[in-house]
Amino acid sequence: MENIKQKVGERIKYLRNKENVSQEELANRAGMARGFISGVETGKRNITVETLGKILDVLKISYNTFFKHESFN
């Protein structure tokens, strides 16, 4: 069973790719390092709710939409 860090990371990566946003662009627009985004997407880095909010703002996704997905059921 996947852990929550992996689920969150995979969901961010999916949404980022859906919007055709590179890791570099997401990192720059959210005020983070590209390496941090990479670590989050691979489930190697932990993420705070505040940081997740910054990423979701860039991707124009609400918390509700983010977590209302089969991987979180």
Candidate CATH numbers 1.20.1070.10, 1.10.10.370, 3.10.450.240, 1.10.260.40; the one for domain 4-67: 1.10.260.40
pLDDT of residue 1: 46
Q: Which residue, 2, 67, 61, is CA-closest to 26?
A: 61
For the stretch 36-53, pLDDT in tens is: 999 999 999 999 999 999
Residue 8 reports pLDDT greater than 60: yes
pLDDT of residue 73: 75
pLDDT of residue 19: 96
pLDDT of residue 2: 67
